[in-house]
Amino acid sequence: MTLNITPRRQAINVATHSLVSFSEMSVGQGLPLVVQPTLSGVSLPEWLSGNRVALSRLLHKHGALLFRGFGLKDQQDFLRSVDMLDMAKMNYIERATPRSELGNQIYTATEFPPEYEIAPHNELSYVNQWPGRICFFCETPAATEGETPLVDVRKVLARLDPEILEPFRRLGWKLVRNFGDAMGPSWRHSYDVADAAALEAYCVKSDVSWEWLQDGGLRTSQVRPTIHRHPVTGEELWFNHVAFWHVSSLPGDVRERFLADFDMDGLPYNTYYGDGQTIPDDVVAALREAYESERVIFSWHAGDFLIADNMLVAHGRARFTGYRRVLVAMGDPIAISEPTRGSTS
């Protein structure tokens, strides 16, 4: 069941003299927790700078915090707010989707045709060092829709049948990517390298296997855990791109075109069990259903600033019409410790 929600005030232990108030989006639904100023002129960057410990505690409980009504206007306001988090910003690595880099490690949200949804995912779960936090800023909301749905992956894991989980726990998952002139980003762009030697050095360092193909293309693969434990809370998490990139998750028209143009081994992206076995379509359908059951949607307001714990919460993008401008920054890297196991502990 998808929750389409609007904020409803619900006090959460806030003194009357506080500069901000906290409210749940709806009773019992704390994702995201909404933070709003109680007085005019409250500076969000200053509040963030002075409340980092409390912010981290709230983030680990709720998964995401939505700061609304603080008068943020543009990219510079977003950058100042991000900088006050004392977050070690990261570059977008092993790039898979188009986005524009705006400077100071600020990016646009994925630039993908507005008629398509972007399924929920935890950012860069397929690399061996991913962002612990991800920040979003809505400069201009879409004319219609264009939300950024959120999904608590603790709850996704709890929904999955133990029989589905068993091979993922034991084997992990494998991502296979094919790079060629006619599809997706080039390997130079994706891995941010200039030549084949640099690509191979990156792959060795990053636990990525590679194969140069006879037609001049490149195939890479990497095995990662499907289930992690949060480094602070210790909770188990469904943290991967298994459903996101499985061929059965492609929109019908796109899937038909890709299967007509490429064989299964040549698809731009596909996912497998960690030993290379095919993941059945019905298993991936169950994964998508678990995400959908926990999906929370809220409408963007101009000036909204969202901080999400990237391990606790997946995010996506709804279809939209009109012009939409959402900016992104990510950071506080977390390194994988056991890249070939099905789960980390």
Write out the DSSP string of 58-71. Answer: HHHHHSEEEE-SS-
User: To which residue do tokens 């990525």 refer?
Assistant: 208
Helix and strand numbers (H, E) in the chain are 10, 21
The model's pLDDT over 119-163, given as tens digits with 9 standing for 90+, comes to 999 999 999 999 999 999 999 999 999 999 999 999 999 999 999
pLDDT in tens, 304-338: 999 999 999 999 999 999 999 999 999 999 987 65
Strand ranges (DSSP E) for 191-244? Answer: 209-212, 218-224, 227-229, 236-238
223: CB partners within 8 A, 6+ apart: 172, 173, 174, 274, 339, 340
Residue 183: the pLDDT is 67
Burial class (CB in 10 A: 0-12, 13-18, 19+), 275: exposed
CB neighbours of residue 65 within 10 Å: 22
Per-residue pLDDT, 290: 98
Q: pLDDT value at position 181? A: 63
CB 148 within 8 A of CB 326: yes
Tell me the pTM: 0.90
> What is the Rg, in whole angstroms, of the alpha carbon atoms belonging to the chain?
20
Q: Which residues fall within 8 angstroms of residue 118, CB to CB, at 6 or more apart?
A: 110, 112, 316, 317
Using an 8 Å Cβ cutoff, are 327 and 107 in contact?
Answer: yes
Task: Give residue 314's domain range.
Answer: 1-345
Per-residue pLDDT, 215: 85
Give me the residues of the chain with pLDDT under 70, please. 1-17, 27, 181-183, 337-345
Domain count, the chain: 1
Q: What stretches of the chain show up as alpha helix (H) in DSSP?
A: 44-50, 52-62, 75-83, 153-159, 162-171, 187-191, 196-206, 242-245, 252-261, 281-293
Residue 247 maps to which CATH number? 3.60.130.10
